[in-house]
Amino acid sequence: MKKVFLGGTCNDSLWRDALIPKLTINYYNPVVPNWTEAFKQKEIEERLSADYCLYVITSKMKGVYSIAEIIEDSNKRPEKTVFCFSEFDGPFEPFIKKSLKAVGEMAERNGAKWCQDFEEVAAVLQP
């Protein structure tokens, strides 16, 4: 069965809990209570071996590493890369929303899929 890596916003966001029931494929959730080097290595392995790499960005995002992962994967593995930014955790500031739209457009130009909501994400991630 196909598998999706659930990348993107962590920081106590529950977007994964909202999306997982909609999935009809296996998934790897990299969120763990205590991050260690072993979990970092496992995340890298899962990201590289997954059939899809999904990156959901919400307003709880604090760092920018997930944005770098989106662009890296859309360049290296465009057919596997899916991007969605969601106001699941609350609205984005207008300038952030504009930047995320530009990220989505760039990822699409690279060949990745840019989804507008969780229903579209679930439809893309079919077995």
For residue range 75-85, list pLDDT tens digits in order. Answer: 999 999 999 99
Taking CA atoms, 60 is separated from 26, 56, 74, 77, 92, in Å, by 25, 11, 23, 26, 9
Q: Quick one: CA torsion of 102, 107, 108, 109, rounded to 10 degrees? A: 90
pLDDT score for 127 = 82
Cα radius of gyration (the chain): 14
Q: Which CATH class is domain 3-124?
A: alpha beta
pLDDT tens for each residue of 3-46: 999 999 999 999 999 999 999 999 999 999 888 999 999 999 99
pLDDT tens for each residue of 46-69: 999 999 999 999 999 999 999 999
pLDDT score for 35 = 85
Q: Which residues contact 18 (CB under 8 A, 6 or more apart)?
A: 88, 118
